[in-house]
Chains A and B, each alone.
Chain A
Amino acid sequence: MGQRISESWNSRVGIILAVAGSAVGLGNFLRFPGQAAEYGGGAFMIAYFISFLLIGLPICWAEWAMGRMGGQAGFNSAPGIFNYITRRPAFKYLGALGVLIPVVIYMYYVYIEAWCLGYAVNFLRGGMQFAAVEQASEFWQSFIGIQADGSAIGFGWDQVGCYLVLVFILNFVLIFRGISKGIELFCRYAMPALVLLAFVILFRVLTLGVPDANHPERSVQNGLGFMWNPAKQLVETRTSPTEEWEFVEQIVDPQRLELARSLAAEDPHQRVRTVSVWEQLVNPQLWLAAAGQIFFSLSVGFGVIITYASYLRKKDDVVLSGLAATSANEFCEVAIGGLITLPAAVTFLGVAGVAGMGTFGLGFNVLPMVFSNMAGGEIFGFLFFFLLFLAAVTSSLSMLQPGIAFLEESLNINRKQSVTILGFITALGCGFVVYFSQDVKALDTLDFWVGTCLIFILASIQIIIFSWVLGVEKGIQAANAGSSLRIPRIFGWIMKYVSPSLLLIIFIFWVLNKVFGFSLGQSGVAYSSYIKDLFIEPNRVAQLSVLLVAAVATLFVLIIALNKNYSNYSKKDAYDD
């Protein structure tokens, strides 16, 4: 067995950029704009900022503080840190989630990362010319092998195979180099480069004007309006007064709105309905969407921040560093993602062509078509997808570190050995996801059960450990030690009562809605496709995906159970003195 050498961050800026890099990902540029537009910009932003203060920031600070505490005792992974902080051996098994989640997410995230690199390369070599979204969609489906299992495996320019191998190697080379020389060094260059690229693309998008004179309503200003207007204008029709009004389209352009209103004034079967901010704010789905976006955007509950923070020293700052990293993520999401994606898409496709598009639809079907129709589109398409690629690499690196730390700590092995073992496990998992590419079933199933469900559970466990097991006063005192800022006193109350309660409420509603099919504000119940795939109309790939998660979880639990290091949890109690 090799001897472990303790690692640490080289600078405060380094860890801030690394944590921000972990949080900034595809969701900032693709998921956030779609969510904000769907639920009405103003109303969504109110719920979004409230969720940031009551859920995102408190859990983030708790993770930073617990990570640094565990690191002082020589633990760098969630099982060791939970075991040390709680002094209850059972918690080390809950800590397995802090390793399982990032490792399993890495298995499919690296696949998406390869899409981004592949799109960037194909834009640069002029292979992305699409006249319609359908053409872009066909390219995407062929590129990722959505038609049949095994069809994603290929090594041509327009196949995902070679890009996947490249990004897999890149990730493991960087993680092999260690915390400061690998992750920190890469993020120090990648994050500023990412912001610079974003500003170049932002400038191009905001100067698009009205590219098609035949469609004056397809403009940047209307794209911004679709994203940010607090009140929504909906055209609805019905054939008789006894029927319910049915949605036809959303209108943003003032001239088209005026025309629709004048038509509605003459036609009793048509109306233009204004949905106000307040009407949207009483919709529980909006709050679920806003809280969920904050939650996933900040990477809380992934097991990443707690591991990164464990490499800090006792008197290193965590409060200001945590706030700086989260604010960098918010800046990328709101100020950059909120101004690029939808305005660009609406300018070429109009509101009707963009509304309702999911993250993948917007990112890999709509935007490629938009860039291919833009003057200088090859360059800007390359820059945009390279930006997504950088964002994805900084995130995927952070998903590997908890696994590396766990293997080194629990098996007492060195970096070379831990990288080999984790590389083998993730290569098997990634191979599974890539082979079972039909309808992206494996990816979708893993994302639902691990990338959403387990994250809720881990975040709840973390805030409960911090506030109730460790004690919120002791936790905040530990967080404030050595910090340039102090956590405001009000957050003691928020972390103890509000954050856990809100998380529990959101999780219950999420399970009711996404698992059992209860739709808030609507009648009717239908089990989600994820439940049907497992129990009602069994899908082999979905069941195998869950088995894969169970197998990895069993392996980690066995390693924890056989590990004697975790019995000796109080190597050096840094906070009881």
Chain B
Amino acid sequence: MTTSGWLVMLVSVGAVTCLLAVCLYLVFRSGDRAERLHGLESETPDVDAD
């Protein structure tokens, strides 16, 4: 593997890893606001409705 190959790999892998890390940080930072935390029961399908 050439030096430029290492560079391409590190930049590509680093870019997507950083992007995911930033997104996860932003999502979890606003966790209290974003998570609705209502019970799963209220969201079940309507199998018992008919």
| A residues neighboring B (CB under 8 Å) | 1-5, 7-8, 10-13, 16, 41-42, 45, 49, 176-182, 185, 221-222, 224-225, 227-231, 252, 316-317, 320-321, 323-324, 327-328, 330-331, 333-335, 338-339, 414-416, 484-485
Evaluate contact between B43 and A330: CB separation under 8 angstroms: no
Give how many B residues have a beta carbon under 8 Å from the other chain's beta carbons.
33
Contacts of A42 in B (CB 8 A): 4-5, 8
With A177-B44, A230-B5 in contact, do A13 and B27 touch (Cβ < 8 Å)? yes
Nearest B residue to A179 via CB reads: B43
Question: For chain B residues 1-50, which have a beta carbon within 8 Å of chain A?
Answer: 1-2, 4-6, 8-9, 11-13, 15-17, 19-20, 23-24, 26-27, 30, 34-38, 40, 43-47, 49-50
Distance in Å: Cβ of A284 to nearest Cβ of chain B: 21
Contacting A324 at CB < 8 Å: which of B5, B23, B36?
B23
Cα-based distance from A179 to B36 in the complex (angstroms): 15
Contacting A327 at CB < 8 Å: which of B2, B8, B23, B35?
B23
Evaluate contact between B38 and A178: CB separation under 8 angstroms: no
Evaluate contact between B45 and A7: CB separation under 8 angstroms: yes
With A42-B8, A224-B1 in contact, do A335 and B46 touch (Cβ < 8 Å)? no
Evaluate contact between B49 and A414: CB separation under 8 angstroms: yes
Evaluate contact between A5 and B46: CB separation under 8 angstroms: yes
Contacts of B26 in A (CB 8 A): 320, 324, 484-485
Per DSSP, chain A at the interface is helix
Evaluate contact between A178 and B43: CB separation under 8 angstroms: yes
Contacting B50 at CB < 8 Å: which of A2, A230, A328, A485?
A2
Contacts of B17 in A (CB 8 A): 331, 335
With A229-B2, A334-B13 in contact, do A12 and B35 touch (Cβ < 8 Å)? yes
Per DSSP, chain B at the interface is helix
Cα-based distance from A230 to B47 in the complex (angstroms): 55
Given contacts A3-B49, A484-B34, list 7 more A-B pairs with CB under 8 A.
A3-B46, A230-B8, A320-B27, A323-B19, A335-B13, A414-B46, A414-B49
Contacts of B38 in A (CB 8 A): 10
Distance in Å: Cβ of B46 to nearest Cβ of chain A: 4
Contacts of A45 in B (CB 8 A): 8, 11-12
Contacts of A331 in B (CB 8 A): 16-17, 19-20
With A13-B27, A323-B23 in contact, do A228 and B40 touch (Cβ < 8 Å)? no
Q: Can you name 28 A-B pairs with beta carbons within 8 Å? A: A2-B46, A2-B49, A2-B50, A8-B43, A10-B36, A10-B38, A13-B34, A13-B35, A42-B4, A45-B12, A177-B44, A178-B43, A181-B43, A225-B2, A229-B2, A252-B1, A320-B27, A323-B23, A324-B23, A324-B26, A327-B16, A330-B20, A331-B19, A333-B16, A335-B16, A338-B13, A415-B45, A484-B30
The 7 closest A-B pairs by CB, nearest first: A2-B50, A225-B1, A178-B45, A415-B45, A229-B5, A324-B23, A180-B43
Evaluate contact between A49 and B50: CB separation under 8 angstroms: no
